[in-house]
Amino acid sequence: MQVGVPKESAPGELRVALVPEVIGRLRARSIDVLVQAGAGEGALIPDDLYREAGAEIAADPSAAYASDIVVKIAPPSEQEIKALRSGSLLIGFLAPLTSPQTTRALAAAGATALAMEAIPRITRAQAMDALSSQANVGGYRAALLGAQTLGRFFPMMTTAAGTVPPAKVLVLGAGVAGLQALATAKRLGARTTGYDVRPEVAEQVRSLGADWLDLGVEAAGEGGYARELSAQEREAQQQALTEAIKGFDVVITTALVPGRAAPRLVTAEAVRGMRAGSVIVDLAGESGGNCELSEPGETVVREGVKIAAPLNLPASMAEHASALFARNVLALIELLVDKDGSLKLDFEDEIVAGACIVRAGEVVHAGARAALEGAA
């Protein structure tokens, strides 16, 4: 049994799916690891470290794609999918709800593929929860980016030249990324406030020393996620937020609804109401943005407000993001492989069944199928 680790090819993707630290655990299960030369470069892991941990290094990318299990972070390109050996298993983020072209190519290749983002968020699967490990990195970096971009202090400063008040930071969307952004902004000394449409997270927000902003719009959906708001609810929320946002120095937005465009929370009018020099960090840029004036991948100044909508923030901290992702993948592989190192995919197991997008070329994930039909 061999696990292959290709070098990521997506623009700006600096992470790598497996790090040397986990190789010993795989080898203890009689699993060999083959790493494409330079795969760890972006995460500052030289080939020698993989070699010392017991991996084989191959210059030819096709060797990694010919492995029994191929592990990746970013969704594979069509070319990469074509390089998969028939019968091999692909594990990685596959964007099943938003990238029907990936699902279609995987099906055409007759592949079997497990999507890390489709692993059910149940207690038994916590160690495999790559959405959480990467969102945690994103939330942390978003708070730092907010502090870096703001021309004011985050903490209260009492100096010989007088006192400056602490910055006020508002986080919209209090999931994994939002809670980490709140915790990080608090550690930097800001006064923090959190908001979400799932009322059950109010307690978690308060436990981080933040105030809870209650706008009276509740939209708890299935599986712990938020549902999409109705047009009426959205308008009420936008109006209430336009008022609430005025007093904040930094607004970090992290609101997402799986498979949908990011909810529009901050309108152009709300930006106009903010003080000049204030900052918005929009973490939802990849799904279209939570702020009407965001330009995904750019930092722009609109109405005197700096609006940053960085893409793939976890890649900007590739070392730790890769290490956490690798532990998530290791936990999944340990579930899939028996003691002798043979692959045993148990499709009765809700983790395997939930994560499987394509099985021997058949699209078996309901969300991925719906996305394919929607795109047809």
Ligand X SMILES: NC(=O)c1ccc[n+]([C@@H]2O[C@H](COP(=O)([O-])OP(=O)(O)OC[C@H]3O[C@@H](n4cnc5c(N)ncnc54)[C@H](O)[C@@H]3O)[C@@H](O)[C@H]2O)c1
Minimum distance from residue 195 beta carbon to ligand X (Å): 6
By C-beta, is 168 or 198 nearer to ligand X? 198
By C-beta, is 256 or 307 nearer to ligand X? 256
Q: Which of 225, 234, 260, 369 is catalytic?
A: 225
Q: Please say if 126 is a catalytic residue.
A: yes
Using CB under 6 A, list all residues that contact ligand X: 121, 126, 129, 131-132, 135, 172-178, 196-198, 224-226, 229, 254-258, 263, 265
Q: Please say if 67 is a catalytic residue.
A: no
Q: Which of 101, 132, 239, 316 is catalytic?
A: 132
Torsion angle, alpha carbons of 55, 127, 81, 65, to 10:
10
- What does the chain come to in residues? 376
Three-state DSSP at 336 gives helix
Q: Please say if 132 is a catalytic residue.
A: yes
Minimum distance from residue 215 beta carbon to ligand X (Å): 9
- Alpha helices by DSSP H, listed for the chain, are 23-27, 47-52, 61-65, 78-83, 100-108, 130-149, 176-187, 202-207, 231-245, 268-272, 318-336, 350-355, 366-375
By C-beta, is 173 or 310 nearer to ligand X? 173
Minimum distance from residue 161 beta carbon to ligand X (Å): 39
Q: Which of 2, 15, 129, 294 is catalytic?
A: 129
By C-beta, is 112 or 193 nearer to ligand X? 193
Tokens in use for 29? 């299960």
Minimum distance from residue 103 beta carbon to ligand X (Å): 20
Closest residue by beta carbon to ligand X = 175
Contacts of residue 230, defined as CB under 8 A and 6 or more positions apart, other chains included, come to: none
Minimum distance from residue 123 beta carbon to ligand X (Å): 6
Question: Is 201 within 8 Å of 193 (Cβ atoms)?
Answer: no
By C-beta, is 132 or 149 nearer to ligand X? 132
By C-beta, is 37 or 311 nearer to ligand X? 311
State the Cα–Cα distance between residues 165 and 158, nearest whole angstrom: 9
Q: Please say if 129 is a catalytic residue.
A: yes
Among candidates 103, 179, 98, which has minimal Cα distance to 136? 179
Minimum distance from residue 229 beta carbon to ligand X (Å): 5
Torsion angle, alpha carbons of 266, 268, 272, 276, to 10:
70
Q: Which of 121, 227, 302, 369 is catalytic?
A: 121
Q: Please say if 338 is a catalytic residue.
A: no
Distance of CA 53 to the CA centre of its chain: 28
Tokens in use for 330? 């290791």
Active site amino acids? 121, 126, 129, 132, 225
